Amino acid sequence: MSVYDYDIGILGGGSAGLTIASGAARFGAKALLIDKEGRLGGDCLHYGCVPSKTLIKTAHVYHLMKNASQFGLPRHEIKSVDFSDISDRIKSVIATIEKHDSVERFCGLGAKVEFGNAVFKDEHTISLNGKGITAKNWVIATGSSPAIPKIEGLQQTPFITNRDIFYLDHLPKSMIVLGAGPVSTEMAQAFCRLGTKVTVIQRSGHILVREDKDMADAVMQNLASEGVEYCLNASVLSVRDLGSEREIAVKFKDGKIETLRAETVLIALGREANLSGLGLENAGVEYDGKGLRLDNRLRTTQKRIFGAGDVTGAYQFTHAAGYEGGVVIANAILHLPRKVDYTFFPWCTYTDPELANIGMNESAAREAGLKHAVWTEEFRMNDRGLTEGEGLGRIKLILDEKEKPLGVQILGLHAGELISEWVAVLNGRVKLSALAGAVHPYPTLAEINKRVVGNYFSGKIFSEKVKKTLKFFFSLRGRACGIE
């Protein structure tokens, strides 16, 4: 039997790698965690979730300050923001969370941490800082990087990505954002609220293309009402550096060409898996432009090498990386054949209000050719939403032909929190009648979850047939008021 240096070696100390390293070490496996950056935490901690949500909160507070009179408060002159102060706050939140991802903590758990660029020599061996290291199992969890398009003039023009945006030394006066996915949409609103003139350029006809168009349009209209400008159905022809500004030539679907100028260009056009330079060809690991080729147990084309996190090219979220990390531990360490199942996978875009999703939305159900019905409830009917000054949004419940839930979308205040009730309901296969019958505290936003199910049941409960039967049994006499 071969003896390896480690039971499991993990390339990448981000959300996926950290989950796997800590889990494997706790189960008693000899684990090695390698990151090329000289620190742990990955994109989520340094360039993604943590800095973006910190920035969004700051922008939200500033927005409330500017709109205090809507809450019956006195108007005040509000000073412009100093982005370096905002950046300092971001760094301090990261520093607090970073302790959880420290080398010392992982060493304490029993995993060894090394830094450097690892290259596969064969399916069990990598070379790191000039030495060979072997492991029975390897995991590729090297994350993703912003995809940079091939656009005329872009190479000669300064631009920023998510790696720079949280660490700017001043607030840009104006910003053009290429792309209209979750990162773009969150940053467009936050920077607009802080005082930047933001223009978003999007190739297709609506933003947040993974979401239903009605929900995405509602988010866009809300951002537009706050001042974000949108160029939809527009592709970028070329980019030019004018010194203090950048110029972008845009061609619209109808053939019209326009030039736009801004101080800063943010590229947010999706992500590319970090797979080059790992020597994957030496280990027989196959991948394409989307990510690693994996089976449903997250094994690559080399059965002892696994993939987790953004490199899968599936759902590029921290909670997906954590979930996939658990699947890898089950398969590689515990030898339990566990498969990934994304049927009821939730996600949220952290605009204000938020847009959260679990399972299939309307367009996914339509594309899959499934017969379905949609039930809705509006936030303007939710008392707590109104007391909070936020009546925008709705919940959509999608049921299949057997009236089983396919998915739920919520656009509204704290939608990311509200969707968690559906995480339990859908994954636990809880009957909708149980949700309809359960008491929710008043006044809460979560009442909307019960109300949408109530809308579905009320059609059945208050049907003419039921009314007639009740009238007959209990000698009821019908309407007491109004036109008969």
Ligand X SMILES: Cc1cc2nc3c(=O)[nH]c(=O)nc-3n(C[C@H](O)[C@H](O)[C@H](O)COP(=O)(O)OP(=O)(O)OC[C@H]3O[C@@H](n4cnc5c(N)ncnc54)[C@H](O)[C@@H]3O)c2cc1C
Q: Which positions from 105 through 124 interact with ligand X, judged by CB under 6 A? A: 117-118
Q: Which is nearer to ligand X, 11 or 364 (CB)?
A: 11
Q: Per CB under 6 A, which region of 38-46, 190-198, 249-257, 281-289 contacts ligand X? A: 38-46
Residues 306, 12: Cα–Cα separation, whole Å? 12
**Given 9, 309, 313, 385, the residue binding ligand X (CB under 6 A):** 309
What residues between 52 and 111 interact with ligand X by CB under 6 A? 52-53
The CB-of-158 to ligand X minimum distance in angstroms stands at 19
How many CA atoms does the CB half-sphere of 469 hold within 13 Å?
Answer: 6
Structure tokens at 303: 């059965």
Q: How far is the CB of 42 from ligand X (least distance, A)?
A: 2
Residue from 321, 364, 418, 432 touching ligand X (CB under 6 A): that is: 321
Structure tokens at 145: 């990087």
CB of 118 to ligand X, least distance (A): 5
- Number of amino acids touching ligand X (CB under 6 A): 36
15 binds ligand X (CB under 6 A): yes
What are the φ/ψ torsions at residue 400 (nearest 5 degrees)? -85, -175
Contacting range for ligand X; rule: CB under 6 A; set: 103-111, 234-242, 310-318, 438-446: 310-318
Residue 359's DSSP bridge partners are 407
Q: Which is nearer to ligand X, 165 or 408 (CB)?
A: 165
Q: 């949700």: which residue's tokens?
A: 435
Question: Considering beta carbons, is residue 125 or 382 the nearer one to ligand X?
Answer: 125
Dihedral (Cα; 270, 22, 300, 50), 10-degree rounding: 0
Closer Cβ to ligand X, 250 or 321, answer by number:
321
Q: How far does Cα 75 stand from its chain's mean position? A: 35
| Residue 318 within binding range of ligand X, rule CB under 6 A | yes
Indicate whether 23 belongs to the interface with ligand X (CB under 6 A): no
Does 11 interact with ligand X (rule: CB under 6 A)? yes
Measured between alpha carbons, how far is 77 from 206 in angstroms, rounded to an integer?
Answer: 36
Choices 21-29, 40-48, 78-86, 418-426; region in contact with ligand X by CB under 6 A: 40-48
Question: Cβ closer to ligand X: 48 or 385?
Answer: 48
Residue 122 backbone dihedrals phi, psi, to 5 degrees: -150, -170
**Least distance from ligand X to the Cβ atom of residue 48, Å:** 3
- State the Cα angle at 377 between 376 and 383, rounded to 5°: 170
Q: Which residue lies nearer to ligand X by CB, 14 or 359?
A: 14
Nearer to ligand X, 37 or 295 (CB): 37
Q: Is 420 in the site for ligand X (CB under 6 A)?
A: no
By CB atoms closer than 10 A (0-12, 13-18, 19+), residue 126 is: buried
User: Is 34 near ligand X (CB under 6 A)?
Assistant: yes
| Alpha helices (H) in 145-205, listed in sequence order | 182-194
Question: What gap in Å lies between CA 343 and CA 360, rounded to an integer?
Answer: 8
Site for ligand X in 162-181 (CB under 6 A): 162
- Tokens at 119, concatenated: 């290259």
Window 337 to 376, contacts with ligand X (CB under 6 A):
350
Concatenating the DSSP letter of every residue in 398-459 gives EEETTS-EEEEEEEETTHHHHHHHHHHHHHTT--HHHHHHS---SS-TTHHHHHHHHHHHHH
Residue 303, classed as helix, strand or coil, is: coil
Residues in the chain: 484
Regarding 283 and contact with ligand X (CB under 6 A), the answer is no
DSSP, collapsed to helix, strand or coil, labels residue 249 as: strand
Q: What is the DSSP letter of 321?
A: H
Please say which residue, 316 or 331, places its beta carbon nearer to ligand X: 316
Our CB check for ligand X shows the closer of 160 and 250 to be: 160
Answer for the pair 57, 32: CB distance below 8 angstroms, yes or no. no
Q: Contact region for ligand X (CB under 6 A) — 48-56, 65-73, 79-87, 215-223?
A: 48-56
Least Cα distance to 171 among 60, 66, 59 occurs for: 59
The answer to whether the CB of 193 falls within 8 A of the CB of 177 is no
Residue 16 binds ligand X, judged by CB under 6 A: yes
Interacting residue ranges for ligand X, rule: CB under 6 A = 11-17, 34-37, 42-44, 47-49, 52-53, 117-118, 141-143, 162, 183, 274, 278, 309-310, 316-319, 321, 350
